Amino acid sequence: DVKVTQSSRYLVKRTGEKVFLECVQDMDHENMFWYRQDPGLGLRLIYFSYDVKMKEKGDIPEGYSVSREKKERFSLILESASTNQTSMYLCASSSPSDRWDTEAFFGQGTRLTVV
């Protein structure tokens, strides 16, 4: 059974804190993605990676950064959390590298609240 696991289901952080959202996949996938999901706005791509140490900006990268030191792990970093980053964050993975026409597998999501 394929698995994409996000480290936290719910997270509450204070404004200005540095926040790490972790995602691990066990499918040996090259591609990994971070989205945020907001009602009425759908899924918006923050960052993606098609290989270790490679990263590409998505549609809304401002206020975020990512880290891909190992193939199975893709971290989303909020350098200084703000209330407008309160959202559901979804991680996904797919394969092969740099091809996007294959099925993406999603994690269960992390609901982040910034107070």
Partner 1 sequence: AQRVTQPEKLLSVFKGAPVELKCNYSYSGSPELFWYVQYSRQRLQLLLRHISRESIKGFTADLNKGETSFHLKKPFAQEEDSAMYYCALTGYALNFGKGTSLLVTP
Taking a C-beta distance cutoff of 8 angstroms, is the pair 23, 5 a contact?
Answer: yes
Q: How many CB atoms lie within 10 A of CB 6?
A: 19
Which one of residues 19, 21, 90, 114 is an interface residue with partner 1 (CB under 8 A)? 90
- The answer to whether 108 contacts partner 1 (rule: CB under 8 A) is yes
Which one of residues 34, 48, 74, 89 is an interface residue with partner 1 (CB under 8 A)? 48
Stretch that binds partner 1, among 16-24, 62-70, 75-83, 93-101 (CB under 8 A): 93-101
Q: Name which of 70, 80, 99, 69 is nearest 20 in CA terms.
A: 80
Q: Which residues bind partner 1 (CB under 8 A)?
A: 33, 35, 40-45, 48, 56, 58-59, 90, 92, 94, 100-101, 103-104, 106-109
